[in-house]
Amino acid sequence: MVDGGDLFGRRNKNDQHQTRFLCECTGDFGYDGIGLGEADLNYGLPFLMEMIEKYSLPFTSANVVNRESGELILPEYLVVEKNGIKFGLVSVLGPNHKIITMTDTDSGLDVKDPVATLRDVLPRMRKEVDTIVLLGHLGEGDTDTVIREVKGIDICIMGHTHRTLKNERIVEDSIFLAAPHEGRYVGRADIFIEESDGKVMAVDVNLVSLDDAVEHEPDMLARVEGYKASFEDFKLAKRAAFPRDLGSEKEKYLGGRACKSCHEDTWAAYAESGHNQAFTTIRKKGQTNEPECILCHTTGYRYKNGYAEERPYNHLVNVQCEACHGYGTEHSRDGKWLAQAQDACVTCHDQENSPEFDYAVYWEKIKH
């Protein structure tokens, strides 16, 4: 049982929490080999190592090295014996799939050229094994190139593409297989191998859809339900760090569109500003579920009746008029609202997130 990599989730804390559970279960499934995808480094190398150790995950990679020491971060290849055949499992990562970790600006890792790597490692593996399986985390086009340039790969499991190959494909002498993402399918290949030289003679490929027709395993179902409850607790704890304890239950945010009808010109200026796309900014980063980002990229997150994921409060995305001026239901014309708005800037434009903030300079850019 093998995997082509990108087992881990996206770069946010909710996904990281779920990834722990996924790793725990994957460990229990008893995989023989898992190729390294760039997503598996989303939470940094120490987290990957912790998961590998804790759940005995058989990750392998032949071309990702520590930049300083030049040493591989994972076993170069794995040898697995099944029915008297020795399989060598080797994985390479495509250098153009950038490793970006959630915490560091630089992963400190280098990705070596896949072709050169395989040309070096395959002859050594050949001495030990009958059949060579590449867990190629390269994407479709590059897998093709690598297989053509490197001779001697018997079977290639394609990672990273998220695309299904319903039938096997033959490139040169190699057989190419893929099953799509998120464990929606399990690919099964019955492989007929010539015992004398380990060459693949025939392959019968089958994709099993893990849909509702597949019965639940009661133990696993109980674990998933248990996990879901703990995940809810996790999210509540994160939110609790940003309590909704400001403002008043009696007041309401009306939303910027409610202001538009009377303040057309102001609206026009606002619509062009970065404030009107602050939520898009964190969406692009996959961080829309993180209180520690929502706080300043929405309207009234810590205020009663402010932004929340549920309707109608989910309309309060972005830094809208009322994020600076206050509850629309408190509309005033005595200058109080202007002073309040001036004071609001630094609650978000703080030292950490806006080190260059200068009221006069910044106001000039968004004045209305």
The first and second tokens of residue 310, run together, are: 């549920």
Q: Which of residues 225-254 bind ligand HEC (CB under 6 A)?
A: 254
Closer of 86 and 315 to ligand HEC (Cβ)? 315
> Does residue number 267 form part of the binding site for ligand HEC (CB under 6 A)?
yes
Q: How far separated are the first and last CA of the chain, in Å rounded? A: 62
Compute the least distance from the CB of residue 105 to ligand HEC, in Å. Answer: 13
Q: Which of 282, 306, 307, 317 binds ligand HEC (CB under 6 A)?
A: 282
Closest Cα to residue 68, out of 106, 116, 114, 121?
A: 106
Residue type, 175: I
> Does residue number 363 form part of the binding site for ligand HEC (CB under 6 A)?
yes
Q: What is the 3-state secondary structure (H, E, C) of 290-352?
A: CHHHHHHHECCCCECCCCCCCCCHHHCECCCHHHHHCCHHHCCCCCHHHHHHHHHHHHHCCCC
Q: What's the CA angle centered on 315, arms 314 and 320, to 5 degrees? A: 120
Q: Please give the size of the binding site for ligand HEC, defined by CB under 6 A.
A: 56
> Does residue number 289 form part of the binding site for ligand HEC (CB under 6 A)?
no
Compute the least distance from the CB of residue 260 to ligand HEC, in Å. Answer: 7
Residue type, 31: Y
> Does residue number 27 form part of the binding site for ligand HEC (CB under 6 A)?
no
> Does residue number 295 form part of the binding site for ligand HEC (CB under 6 A)?
yes
Compute the least distance from the CB of residue 251 to ligand HEC, in Å. Answer: 11
Is the separation of the CB atoms in 99 and 41 below 8 Å? yes
Closer of 209 and 353 to ligand HEC (Cβ)? 353
> Does residue number 316 form part of the binding site for ligand HEC (CB under 6 A)?
no
Q: Which of 46, 108, 274, 312 binds ligand HEC (CB under 6 A)?
A: 274
> Does residue number 256 form part of the binding site for ligand HEC (CB under 6 A)?
yes
Q: Which of 66, 273, 288, 289 binds ligand HEC (CB under 6 A)?
A: 273
Phi, psi of 176 (to 5 degrees): -115, 120
The first and second tokens of residue 10, run together, are: 């996206």
Q: What's the CA angle centered on 283, arms 279 and 285, to 5 degrees? A: 120
Q: What's the CA angle centered on 81, arms 183 and 119, to 5 degrees? A: 80
> Does residue number 100 form part of the binding site for ligand HEC (CB under 6 A)?
no
Q: Which of 50, 110, 290, 330 binds ligand HEC (CB under 6 A)?
A: 290
Pick the stretch among 18-26, 89-97, 202-210, 335-343 that binds ligand HEC (CB under 6 A).
335-343
Taking only Cα atoms into account, the Rg of the chain, rounded to an integer number of angstroms, comes to: 27
> Does residue number 120 form part of the binding site for ligand HEC (CB under 6 A)?
no
Closest Cα to residue 145, out of 121, 120, 167, 174?
A: 174
Q: Which of 72, 73, 79, 348 binds ligand HEC (CB under 6 A)?
A: 348
> Does residue number 328 form part of the binding site for ligand HEC (CB under 6 A)?
yes
Pick the stretch among 66-74, 148-156, 219-227, 316-324 that binds ligand HEC (CB under 6 A).
316-324
The first and second tokens of residue 291, run together, are: 């209180």
> Does residue number 56 form part of the binding site for ligand HEC (CB under 6 A)?
no
Residue type, 255: G
Pick the stretch among 111-119, 144-152, 161-169, 256-264 that binds ligand HEC (CB under 6 A).
256-264
Q: Which of 25, 115, 165, 258 binds ligand HEC (CB under 6 A)?
A: 258
Range list of β-strands (E), the chain: 2-3, 33-35, 59-60, 64-66, 77-82, 85-93, 109-111, 131-137, 155-158, 165-171, 174-178, 185-193, 200-209
Contacts with ligand HEC by CB under 6 A lie at: 254, 256, 258-259, 261-263, 266-267, 270, 273-275, 277-278, 281-282, 285, 287, 290, 292-293, 295-297, 319, 321-325, 328, 331-335, 337-338, 341-342, 344-345, 347-350, 353-354, 356-357, 362-363, 365-366, 368
